[in-house]
Each structure stands twice: as C-alpha cells, then as structure tokens.
C-alpha cells in the first residue's frame, strides 16, 4: 500500500490500514522534511504561541516504527504510471504499489492581478514561520480575502499586536461559508478587536509594500497575505489520466477512475450518500480523517460507502464557529438561541428535512447542540421547526425516540 501525501488523510490511512489488520508493507510519501503534522494550527497556534512553535505531529518516529510504515520525506511524486502501477519520485526512486491512495490536499490560490507575487500564502509550516516573524507589534498587515483562513490570520495578527486591514471583494465576509447572521457577529467581533474590514472592495494591483484598490485608495503594508481559497492538488492524478471534477473524481467508495487508485481529503471529490449523491469536495480536518478511513477499508477489498457527515470549525478571537452537514442545501433556517451571545441555526429543505446546522458562540457553547444535530442528520431524523427553535426541548430526546 502506497500513500502520496503526508497530511491528515495520509497519516490517518496508515493507522486505518493497520487497524484493519493489514500485515503488508505501507509506504507514506511526503514532500516536506517534517514528519506528518496537523495543518489547522498553522493559522492559529503556530503564529500566536508565546514560544517558538514546532509542527503538531500526527505520527512521530516511534509511531511510524510501531505501525511498520516506511516514511519517505522530501520527495515529490512526479509521475503516476497506472499501467505499471508505480509512482516516480523527485528523489529518482520509483515506488511500486498494489493499491495507491492520493492525499495531496489543496494549495492556496494565488492572486492573478498585477503584483500578485508580492502576496504571501499559507500552506505549510515554513509559511507559518514566515508569517509569525512578520507579525510583529505595530507592523501593518494587509490580508486579501474574507474567508475562514483570512479571518483566522487577521485574528492571529491582532493577537500579535499588528495593525490589520482585511480586504474582501464580496459585499460581506464569509459570503460562501455561513449565513449573514453568523457573518455579522464575526464581522463585528473583528471590528471590535481593531481589524479594519473593507468589504465590497476590489483590487487594482499590488506593490511590495502597498495595495492599490480599484477605487483609487492605497493601503500601505509591511506584509501582504492572500487568503482567497484553495484549489485541489490534482496534477499527479490529472497527468496520469485519472478523471478530474473539481478534484479527483471518486465513487462512493473513494475510488478514482482507476480501480487501484483511491483519493481522500481536500483533493477528492465524491458523491455523498446521505445527500442524494451530490458530488462534494470538502476542505476540513475531520472530513479528511473520515475519507481516509473509508478509503483504507476499501483498499483492502471492502465496499464501504462514504457517508460521514461533514463537520467544520473555525476560531475567531474568543468565538468558535461550527458547521455540520450541508447547510447550503437547506431553504429554511430555524434559529435556536442558547444564550445572549450563542445560537445555532438549523437548515431544512422545503420538505422539512434537516440537512445542516451552523452556529457561533463563546468557547464551546454551541458544540453539544451542533454535535446532536449532526447525529440527527446521520439518522435522517428531522424534528419540526418549532421543536428545533425551542431551546427547552433537548435534541437528544429525538435521538432516543
């Protein structure tokens, strides 16, 4: 078994293969010099920690040894030969496989405007170290993009004492991610913490230390960062002739168009069984874990259908935002107030089916409700709108019934 990509999905697949009692060889291939590490802390703890950060390892040397896995680091997979079932690496080595898992993740999108090369990106631990060094007190930091990564970086920069300006071309932040009600709370929190938010604002060009806006304004900057989303890393798969559809196109078993090649994590696109086969590509920590578990079982001859409920979280100063399911498939929103500063939104279809939940609150105030909503979605249980809105009615009662 060979796994290309040493992030969450790749590391989890190693563990899942051994947990399924697979006794054969496992080879894990990573581009970086580090052991497999977790990426969510890169925009948060890796930048804001008081002491010099180290990667949050997913597997250390002892664990890899106990799992009997060979880890090849500093090696980029250059060519996939589907006929001969080999992966050629930048080190000059060609690795044969019986079954292959591609877990190459996604790469941040670059700005395509004039001077776009002046904007830093965040993908790996080295990038986080560069940003940590740049985020010094009173330094002018300009962040392009009002999605989750841009906002998390804005929060981290403010915690480091920076002067932060965030620019979003859309009318509001988190335009694609959450409802307007949640986006407004995040917006107001950032403003109250001193972040300058410029929404509905286009770019003209960048210079090394200045952002030129479409309306003629110029924002001076010591550091410019682009956080405008990510694109699935599919070059290896595409060059080999695998089907690509906003990621590596997989079936419900996380199997690609080649029966011996699977995909998992940010690079994979699959039909979700609980949502009518809607093709989906997810960029989330737990989704990568769940997909890797499915892929590993099926690499060993199983026929598991991937139906895990998507779940995502983001920290914004002292606020935590969580999303479960697929809220965008809902046409009705029901609000449950948990406290003056915490609430959960339930997303229902026209037929009253619960398909998603999203919420925001201080710390982990919403965690239990979102988790219960996730369980309801998985069991296809849909309480009435009035019951969902009533915080005095516990969601777990519907699970029991």
Residue 311 lies in a domain: no
Residue 306 lies in a domain: no
Residue 307 lies in a domain: no
In terms of Cα–Cα distance, which of 335, 348, 333, 358 is closest to 383?
348
Percent of the chain at pLDDT exceeding 90: 97
pLDDT digits (tens, 9 = 90+) for 195-211: 999 999 999 999 999 99
pLDDT value of residue 274: 86
Tokens representing 168? 């979003």
Q: What is the largest CA-CA distance in the chain?
A: 64
- pLDDT exceeds cutoff 80 at 401: no
pLDDT value of residue 273: 84
pLDDT value of residue 176: 86
pLDDT value of residue 23: 97
Domain tally, the chain: 3
pLDDT digits (tens, 9 = 90+) for 253-308: 999 999 999 999 999 999 998 898 999 999 999 999 999 999 999 999 999 999 99
Rounded Cα distance between 266 and 285, Å, is: 9
Of 253, 270, 299, which marks where a domain is finished? 299
- Same structural domain for residues 346 and 380? yes
- Same structural domain for residues 209 and 267? no
- Same structural domain for residues 83 and 189? no
The tokens 């972040």 sit on which residue? Answer: 195
Half-sphere exposure at residue 293, Cβ-oriented, CA atoms within 13 angstroms: 11
Residue 74 region by backbone torsions, left for phi larger than 0, else alpha for psi between -120 and 50, else beta = left
- Same structural domain for residues 36 and 61? yes
- Same structural domain for residues 151 and 77? no
Prediction pTM value: 0.95
Contact 266, 5 (CB under 8 A): no
pLDDT value of residue 308: 94
Range of the domain at 324: 318-400
- Same structural domain for residues 194 and 268? no
pLDDT value of residue 276: 87
Backbone angles phi, psi at 198, to 5 degrees: -115, 100
Assign 112 to helix, strand or coil: coil
R_g over Cα of the chain? 22
Looking up residue 47, the CATH number of its domain turns out to be 3.50.50.60
Rounded Cα distance between 360 and 350, Å, is: 24
Of 167, 192, 226, which marks where a domain is finished? 226
- pLDDT exceeds cutoff 90 at 57: yes
Query: What angle in degrees, to the nearest 10, is found between the helix axes of 148-159 and 180-192?
Result: 20
pLDDT value of residue 197: 98
Strand-pair partners of 333: 347
Residue 171 lies in a domain: yes
pLDDT digits (tens, 9 = 90+) for 110-162: 999 999 999 999 999 999 999 999 999 999 999 999 999 999 999 999 999 99
- Same structural domain for residues 165 and 254? no
User: Mean pLDDT across the chain, nearest whole number?
Assistant: 97
pLDDT value of residue 126: 96
């Amino acid at each position: 078994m060979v796994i290309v990509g040493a992030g969450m999905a790749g590391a989890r697949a190693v563990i899942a293969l051994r947990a399924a009692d697979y006794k054969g060889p496992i080879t894990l291939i990573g581009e970086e010099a580090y052991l497999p590490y977790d990426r969510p802390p890169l925009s948060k703890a890796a930048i804001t920690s008081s002491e010099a950060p180290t990667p949050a390892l997913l597997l250390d040397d002892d664990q890899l040894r106990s799992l009997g896995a060979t880890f090849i680091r500093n090696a980029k997979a250059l060519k996939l030969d589907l006929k001969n079932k080999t992966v050629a690496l930048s080190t000059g080595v060609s690795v044969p496989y019986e079954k292959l898992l591609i877990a190459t993740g996604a790469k941040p999108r670059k700005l395509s405007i004039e001077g776009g090369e002046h904007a830093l990106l965040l993908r790996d631990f080295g990038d986080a170290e560069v940003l940590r060094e740049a985020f010094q007190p009173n330094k002018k930091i300009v962040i392009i993009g009002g999605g989750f990564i841009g906002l998390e970086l804005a929060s981290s920069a403010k915690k480091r004492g920076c002067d932060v300006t965030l620019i979003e071309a859309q009318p509001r932040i988190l335009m694609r991610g959450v409802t307007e009600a949640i986006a407004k709370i995040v917006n107001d929190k950032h403003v109250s913490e001193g972040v300058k938010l410029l929404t509905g604002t286009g770019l003209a060009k960048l210079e090394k230390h200045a952002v030129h806006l479409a309306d003629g304004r110029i924002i001076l900057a010591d550091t410019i960062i682009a956080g405008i989303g990510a694109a699935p890393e599919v070059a290896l798969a595409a060059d080999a002739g695998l089907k690509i559809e906003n990621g590596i196109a997989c079936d419900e078993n996380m199997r690609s168009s080649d029966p011996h090649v699977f995909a998992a994590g940010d690079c994979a696109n699959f039909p979700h069984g609980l949502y009518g086969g809607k093709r989906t590509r997810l960029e989330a920590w737990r989704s990568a874990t769940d997909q890797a578990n499915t892929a590993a079982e099926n690499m060993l001859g199983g026929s598991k259908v991937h139906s895990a409920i998507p779940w995502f979280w983001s920290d914004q100063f002292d606020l935590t935002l969580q999303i479960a399911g697929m809220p965008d498939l809902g046409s009705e929103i029901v609000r449950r107030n948990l406290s003056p500063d915490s609430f959960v939104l339930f997303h229902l279809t026209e037929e009253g089916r619960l398909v998603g939940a999203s919420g925001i609150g201080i710390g982990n105030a919403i965690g239990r409700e979102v988790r219960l909503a996730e369980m309801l979605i998985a069991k296809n249980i849909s309480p009435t709108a009035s019951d969902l809105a009533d915080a005095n009615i516990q969601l777990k009662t519907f699970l029991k019934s």
